[in-house]
Structure 1
Amino acid sequence: MLLFREQKHISVLFFYIRRIMKKISKQLNIETFLTCALYIFYFCWWYYFAYIYVSKNNEFIWGLPSWFFYSCILGLIVINLLVFIVVKLFFKEIDLD
């Protein structure tokens, strides 16, 4: 009889652990998706201004070619702001202990 009780407690413990891991896994999936989406957005931004925009415009901004300014300088500022906003709004502290 004692062995049966211990097994029951262990199964309940595993049930709660599994439930907690599902919540953690869901949060990690959301964070992974958002991170990949931001990276794809940044790559598309950079590619557009570095390869497509350059064929349309040949201007200079602050002594730099416009394609370089938009892809490397403005793009870095925009992606840094987006990452900051996404981390503050969607990422959560997860205790892995």
Structure 2
Amino acid sequence: MVVEALVVAAMFSAIIESGLVPKFHFTLVNVISIIGLVFLIDKSRYWSFGYLAGWILGLFFSLGTLIQTEFLGVFDLLVYGATAFGAVYLRAKIHM
């Protein structure tokens, strides 16, 4: 997953920097991705604790790689952090 995140980040950075895709389209994809993350939190109630822990670990390692490539910024960290927190909170609330 970490290698995949690195490759995708490098590809998207190259495409945007070369001007092949307008920055507006990239922003639109980010907004759609955020909406998808909201649905992801909702579906996380069906995950096992092991799957949730693996997802958070994969997210942690992927974000580290994407930050090193300067593909993600502070806003992205906040969004993904809120997603992880929401998924853990929902899973813990179900089992309390």
TM range (shorter): 0.3 to 0.5
TM-score (norm 1): 0.37
Higher relative contact order (CA 8 A, sep 6+): 2
Larger radius of gyration: 1
TM-score (norm 2): 0.37
